[in-house]
């Protein structure tokens, strides 16, 4: 991997005095001192026009990208007849009860509960295990550590299909099919990319903080738990979003491991929707269900996005 | 390539080379090593249990015939010979290649263009960024369900728009000439992840470079061609390799959008074919062989990409330091 080199931030000792979620600045941020003070009126004006051209292009693109989502929501609020009107109607009385119908026609609460259990535990397991391992990789020294880290990063390139069949066979032999265990357990054993993200962030935390804590007699465990973790909000947010979205949208796993309808996650249930006798080809209901299914990851993203974007910048992937 | 130099916490005690501090230091180092192993133990276990172990097992399984019910039987190269003669597998392979070769570069290009447009001071920056990333957050089955409706031949939005423009839209998902294209087109909707990584990369491009180019009278386009693209080449490398790996793992979309391999098996991506063999026909050995062939393809592509990097990846560090 060419991605393990780190940003220059910690070499300069991250002089920022504030304690709190201060991410290491992306390399290059410090170099950019912009000579804006020089009077360059014409260029300034041209720059502003260019900015507006960009905004217009971006708006058109944005409209195109969001159109499918708008269409989904609109369809979900139509009546069964309105869905089939050509050309499509854009103004109509929204049928909010479509959502109620969907939630009652199929055991949606069950699916929500199943999904919440799996996703909640996967996120918890990933955050704990990845930050824990990352502390070891970032701060402690032991023979063989670098090799282990390199191999771990190598598994980023291992497609999940290669490990799929034996893993399935083992879980099958353990009698864990049709339980949530195969979906949850692996999360507690770290995951290469998220360990990488945490490690990158930990490397940017000034050593002095930790040395002070060591002198006060804090164990490494304490340092990880009460010093590093509370400082890591941007990465925690990033990893949470990635893991949440990944686990929530996971389809392959639930499809092969869960067979009982009462065990289905939202994603699996949704995929059987249009064919199910209760919903059938009723597009307004299918789209209502799709909207409900899409909502949680959108909400999580919007809540965490401020940190999330910073967290990615910190990872120094560009180095 | 270089991993971080990890200095011991006790760095200040480096000075006096007396006997006692040395011994104390070595005990500390040993203590620290124990802690280190403890901290990385979950990852190490996970590596053995969920990556390396299954990897070896899957390699061995690919030389057996195994249906989960009776014990696996060693069949030598039979699975691989079977794959070479399997026309459906060859078809699946070419479908996957087409999918990857079109979808990955197109996603990179769109991601880069939007990232460039989004970089710098513009009004409503945060809104645009989130809006473009939104589809990547939804992903999976929900996206497939939504696009199934968009692609609907009679009432779908896409054919409605095409119809308004006077173009008769095809039956996207049921016509074997269009199903794969529909799948590829849909995959472009998820360019947000690539865009975000490019955007992070753009923060690291020194502004002075553009200013210098501007003084020299280079146009915007040339500035991006000769500064942005080379400066972001390592990001492109990352995105490219991840894109190749992901395109071999796409599953929910074809599975939901065009079930059972699509019209005349025209969207039978390798992942779907593997799923069918493993979990519908219970041919675990054969499925493992498919997995290894696709893994080999990834390795070959990745090596090719890495081999070609001196030609196009601009190495910043070697020039500056």
Mean pLDDT of all residues in B166-190: 91
Least confident of A201-215, A301-315, B81-95, B259-273: A301-315
| Model confidence, pTM | 0.81
Q: Which tokens hold the place of A49?
A: 């026009």
A60 at the B interface (CB within 8 A)? no
CA distance A179 to A262: 11
User: Which of the residue ranges A172-181, B8-17, B169-178 would you say has the lowest mean pLDDT?
Assistant: B8-17
Instruction: Tell me, yes or no, if B303 comes closer than 8 A to chain A by beta carbon.
Output: no
In a domain, A137, yes or no: yes
Q: ipTM score here?
A: 0.80
Q: At what angle do helices B125-138 and B87-118 cross, to 10 degrees?
A: 170
pLDDT value, residue A119? 96
Q: What is the pLDDT at residue A31?
A: 41
pLDDT value for A314 = 55
Cβ-nearest to A283 among B68, B149, B291: B149
SS3 content of chain B, % helix, strand, coil (to 5): 75, 0, 25
Q: Mutate which of A84, A135, A140 to test chain B, going by most B C-beta atoms within 10 A?
A: A140
Rounded CA separation A140/A298 (Å): 37
Whether residue A132 and residue B3 make contact (CB cut-off 8 A), yes or no, is no
Query: CA A18, A19, A21, A24: dihedral to nearest 10 degrees?
Result: 60
Least confident range from A79-88, B134-143, B151-160: namely A79-88
Residues A278-299 as b or e (16 or more Cβ within 10 Å = b): ebeebbbbbbbbbbbbbebbbe
- What pLDDT, on the 0 to 100 scale, is given for residue A116? 95
Res. B189: pLDDT tops 90: yes
The verdict on a CB contact (< 8 Å) between B129 and A309 is yes
The mean predicted confidence, pLDDT, of chain B is 85
- Domain definitions of chain B by residue range: 11-61, 80-320
- Using the Cβ of A66 and the Cβ atoms of chain B, whether some distance falls under 8 Å is answered with yes
A278 interface with B at CB cutoff 8 Å: no
Mean pLDDT for B122-150 is 87
Confidence of residue B13 (pLDDT cuts 50, 70, 90): very low
Query: Would A7 be classed as within a structural domain?
Result: no
The pLDDT, as a whole number, for residue B130 is 87
Given a cut of 50, is residue B176 above it in pLDDT?
yes
Question: For chain A, how many structural domains are there in total?
Answer: 1
Taking CB atoms and an 8 Å cutoff, what residues of chain A touch B293?
none
Considering only CB atoms, which chain A residues are within 8 Å of B217? Answer: none
- Between A313 and B73, the higher pLDDT residue: B73
Q: What is the CATH number of the domain that holds A240?
A: 1.10.3720.10
Q: Does B200 contact A312 at a Cβ distance shorter than 8 Å?
A: yes
Please tell me which of the candidates A142, A146, A318 has its beta carbon nearest to residue B234.
A318
Answer whether B149 sits within 8 Å of A50, measured CB to CB.
Answer: no
* A226/B contact by beta carbon, under 8 A: no
Q: Point out the residues of chain A with pLDDT beneath 50.
A: 1-39, 316-319
- Which residues partner with B65 through β-bridges? B73
User: Is residue A191 within 8 angstroms of chain B, CB to CB?
Assistant: yes
Query: Under an 8 A CB cutoff, do A249 and B140 touch?
Result: yes
Is residue A65, in this structure, part of any structural domain at all?
A: no
B51 neighbourhood in chain A, CB within 8 Å = 155, 158, 163
Q: Which of residues 100-129 of B touch A (CB under 8 A)?
A: 114, 117-118, 120-124, 126, 128-129
A59 in any annotated domain: no
The pLDDT tens digits for A59-77 are 999 999 999 999 999 999 9
How far does Cα B321 stand from its chain's mean position?
31
Task: Give the pLDDT confidence of B196-212 residue by residue, as tens digits.
Answer: 889 888 887 888 888 88
Q: Do B139 and A249 touch (CB under 8 A)?
A: yes
* Assigned fold of B80-320: MetI-like fold (1.10.3720)
Domain membership flag for residue A26: no
- State the average pLDDT over residues B117-126: 81
Domain of A111, in residue numbers: 100-314
């Amino acid at each position: 991997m060419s991605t393990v080199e780190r940003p220059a931030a910690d070499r300069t000792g991250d002089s920022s005095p504030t304690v709190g979620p201060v991410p290491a600045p992306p390399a290059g941020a410090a170099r950019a001192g912009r000579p804006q003070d020089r009077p360059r009126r014409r260029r300034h004006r041209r720059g502003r026009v260019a900015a507006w051209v960009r905004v217009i292009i971006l708006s058109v693109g944005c409209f195109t990208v969001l159109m499918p989502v708008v269409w989904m929501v609109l369809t979900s609020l139509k009546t069964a007849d309105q869905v089939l009107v050509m050309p499509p109607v854009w103004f109509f009385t929204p049928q909010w009860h479509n959502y109620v119908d969907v939630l009652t026609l199929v055991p949606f609460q069950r699916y929500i509960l199943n999904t919440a259990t799996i996703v909640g535990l996967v996120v918890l397991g990933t955050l704990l295990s990845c930050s824990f391992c990352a502390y070891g990789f970032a701060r402690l020294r032991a023979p063989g550590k670098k090799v282990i880290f390199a191999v771990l990063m190598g598994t980023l390139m291992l497609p999940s299909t290669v490990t799929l069949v034996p893993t399935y066979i083992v879980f099958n032999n353990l009698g864990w099919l049709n339980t949530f265990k195969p979906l949850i357990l692996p999360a507690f054993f770290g995951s290469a990319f998220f360990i990488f993200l945490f490690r990158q962030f930990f490397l940017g935390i000034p050593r002095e903080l930790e040395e002070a804590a060591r002198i006060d007699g804090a164990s490494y465990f304490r340092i990880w738990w009460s010093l590093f973790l509370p400082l890591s909000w941007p990465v925690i947010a990033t990893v949470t979003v990635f893991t949440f979205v990944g686990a929530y949208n996971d389809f392959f796993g639930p499809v092969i491991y869960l067979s009982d309808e009462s065990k289905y996650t939202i994603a699996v249930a949704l995929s059987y929707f249009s064919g199910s006798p209760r919903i059938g080809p009723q597009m307004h209901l299918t789209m209502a269900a799709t909207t409900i299914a899409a909502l949680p990851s959108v909400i999580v993203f919007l809540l965490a996005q401020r940190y999330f974007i910073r967290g990615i910048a910190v990872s120094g992937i560009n180095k | 390539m270089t991993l971080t130099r990890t200095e011991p916490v006790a760095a200040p005690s480096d000075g006096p080379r007396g006997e006692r501090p040395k011994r104390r230091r070595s005990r500390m180092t040993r203590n620290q090593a124990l802690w280190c192993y403890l901290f990385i133990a979950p990852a190490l276990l996970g590596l053995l249990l969920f990556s390396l172990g299954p990897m070896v097992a899957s390699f061995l399984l690919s030389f057996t015939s195994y249906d989960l019910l009776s014990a696996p039987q060693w069949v030598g190269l039979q699975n691989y010979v079977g794959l070479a003669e399997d026309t459906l597998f060859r078809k699946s392979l070419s479908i996957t290649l087409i999918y990857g070769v079109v979808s990955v570069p197109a996603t990179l290009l769109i991601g880069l263009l939007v990232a460039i447009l989004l970089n710098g001071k513009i009004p409503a920056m945060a809104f645009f960024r989130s809006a473009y990333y939104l589809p990547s957050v939804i992903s999976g089955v929900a996206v497939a369900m939504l696009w199934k409706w968009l692609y609907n031949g009679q009432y779908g939005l896409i054919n409605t728009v095409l119809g308004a423009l006077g173009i008769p839209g095809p039956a996207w998902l049921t016509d074997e000439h269009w199903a794969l294209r529909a799948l590829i087109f849909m995959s472009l909707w998820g360019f947000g992840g690539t865009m975000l990584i490019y955007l992070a990369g753009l923060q690291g491009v020194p502004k002075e470079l553009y200013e210098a180019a501007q003084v020299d009278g280079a146009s915007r386009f040339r500035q991006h061609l000769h500064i942005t693209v080379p400066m972001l080449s390592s990001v492109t490398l990352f995105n490219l390799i991840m894109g190749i790996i992901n395109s071999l793992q796409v599953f929910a979309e074809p599975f939901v959008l065009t079930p059972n391999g699509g019209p005349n098996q025209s969207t039978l991506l390798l992942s779907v074919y593997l799923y069918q063999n493993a979990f519908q026909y219970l041919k675990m050995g054969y499925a493992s062989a498919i997995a290894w062939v696709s893994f080999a393809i990834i390795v070959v592509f990745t090596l090719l990409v890495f081999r070609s990097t001196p030609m196009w990846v601009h190495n910043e560090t070697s020039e500056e330091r």
